Amino acid sequence: MNNLASLLRKNKFLILGCGFSGSFFAKTIRKLGCTALTSSRSKNKDPNSFVFDSENGIVPSEEVFDGVTHILSCIPPNKNGNDPVLRILQSKLESLSLEWVGYLSTTGVYGNTEGDWVSERNKPNPLQKRSLNRLNCEKEWIESNLPVQIFRLPGIYGPGRSTFEAIRNQKIRVITKKDQVFSRIHVADIANAIIYLLQNKDILKFHKIINIADDEPCSQIEVIQYCYDLLGLKMPKPTLFEEVKKELSPIAQSFWMENRKVSNKLLCETLGYKLIYKNYKLGLKNCFLNL
Ligand SMILES: NC(=O)c1ccc[n+]([C@@H]2O[C@H](COP(=O)([O-])OP(=O)(O)OC[C@H]3O[C@@H](n4cnc5c(N)ncnc54)[C@H](OP(=O)(O)O)[C@@H]3O)[C@@H](O)[C@H]2O)c1
């Protein structure tokens, strides 16, 4: 057994919020022989799943916490802008002597940099209410007595959730906006970066906040064009953001109001993580092969 597998095998993870990223992370660490229990808000057939629903006050049973060493929370802020996990489970988690707690946050906390690069060293400057809420949740985690590491993520994509699905479900809006870029991350790089940091925890400096983003922020239209090319289809003529703005939902509009490039230098240069998918082309090829 290699070093990584033997290291993880001793651990028991709870993944709170087994959505897209949480389930990918659980699958990845289970392949390494690790125990990983996952939460969802409704009961399902998976024997490794338990129910946690902060809104309805459904908390996990005591045995779920037995022997837990690591926790990853993938649950967004609640309606009041508080962290749903801490609101209900903070004292329970603090009683567990956990080795590590990860929290998936968003790069939305940086706000709009008008296309400039932004790193962990920049002061957050949230524009949207949901990003203010997120910053508040980050603060709650940092102020807890838990060994927390926060991962700020840009747009997450991967097999089963990418522009290909939007094209296939005819939900795609082919929109262009001058000089607008977005940062992205393939879900496999979220899982692998976290595992890399855990594997090297004893030799790397512990950073409380780390961006996980790929190397090449770019416009949305480049991504859409690339997907149409891989599918061998003709991309519809793009419309200008300004022309369709009013037809978009408030949330869709808000994404276009922020323009930033998220730096991964801390993760990839200082800490030495090697991305699996350095850019959208490599990542989307992987999604295409899994269609
Ligand atoms: N999607 C993106 O592009 C993106 C970008 C940056 C950051 N993020 C953030 O990163 C995290 C992971 O993202 P994701 O897209 O992988 O998440 P996701 O697929 O939306 O999954 C979210 C999970 O949270 C659970 N959940 C939500 N409210 C809950 C509550 N009140 N009590 C208990 N569980 C609750 C959901 O439970 P059910 O399984 O029962 O639905 C689900 O498992 C989230 O915090 C997300 O906001 C996402």
Per-residue pLDDT of 224-251, as tens digits, reads: 999 999 999 999 999 999 999 999 999 9
Ligand 1 touching residue 18 (CB < 6 A)? yes
Per-residue pLDDT of 77-89, as tens digits, reads: 999 999 999 999 9
Write down the H helix ranges in the chain.
3-9, 20-31, 62-65, 84-94, 129-143, 163-168, 187-199, 220-231, 241-244, 250-256, 265, 280-289
User: What is the Å distance from ligand 1's center to 32 Cα?
Assistant: 24
pLDDT band for position 10 (cuts 50, 70, 90)? confident
CA dist 15 → 21, 72, 99, 201, 249 (Å): 10, 5, 14, 19, 31
Interatomic CA distance for residues 117 and 250, integer angstroms? 25
pTM to 2 decimal places: 0.97
Number of domains composing the chain? 1
Q: Do 104 and 180 touch, CB atoms closer than 8 A?
A: no
pLDDT, mean of residues 265-271: 98
Using CA positions, which residue lies closest to atom 12 of ligand 1? 74
Q: Which of 225, 243, 216, 242 is nearest to 172 (CA)?
A: 225
User: What is the Å distance from ligand 1's center to 107 Cα?
Assistant: 15
Q: Which domain holds residue 67?
A: 3-289
Per-residue pLDDT of 32-70, as tens digits, reads: 989 999 999 999 999 999 999 999 999 999 999 999 999
For the chain, give the number of residues. Answer: 291
**What mean pLDDT is reported for the chain?**
96
CATH at 118: 3.40.50.720
Say yes or no to pLDDT of 255 above 90.
Answer: yes
The answer for residues whose C-beta is within 8 angstroms of residue 166's C-beta and 6 or more apart is 172
Ligand 1 touching residue 54 (CB < 6 A)? yes
**How far out from the chain centre does Cα 216 lie?**
17
Using CA positions, which residue lies closest to atom 23 of ligand 1? 17
The answer for residues whose C-beta is within 8 angstroms of residue 69's C-beta and 6 or more apart is 10, 11, 12, 13, 98, 99, 100
